[in-house]
Amino acid sequence: MVSIGIVSGIILLIYFFTYGALIDAVGSSLIWFEVVTSIMVLFVLLFLRRVCFFLTRLKLGRRADCSAVLNKLQLVDLALDENALLAKLDRSK
């Protein structure tokens, strides 16, 4: 989750410093690309927990040892502390 947040922040920072140069030098298609992608990156930052949970399910969902646990988890379970999460997973066996 931290690495996705850092990459998103760096992208927005680069966009911030290059926006003026793009306005002066390049046509409008690259500016529109930057505007649209910066809005998408902003939404990734706003919904970072959901994006990371989706990517984790996508990456580890096909592994046999992880798919059983991931099928039992929901997004709201990520806010639980580790003892409550363990108790929930033990109850659902």
pLDDT exceeding 70 applies to what percent of the chain? 95
Instruction: Kindly state the tokens that stand for 57.
Output: 């399910």
pLDDT for res 57:
86
| Section 46-70 average pLDDT | 85
pLDDT tens digits, residue range 11-39? 989 888 888 787 777 667 778 888 898 89
Domain ranges of the chain: 1-46
Helix/strand/coil percent split, the chain, to 5: 85, 0, 15
Token pair in block for residue 5: 């947040």
DSSP letters spanning 35-71: HHHHHHHHHHHHTHHHHHHHHHHHHHTTSHHHHHHHH
> Letter for the amino acid at 21?
A
pLDDT at 81: 82
Q: How confident is the model at residue 93 (pLDDT cuts 50, 70, 90)?
A: low
pLDDT for 39? 92
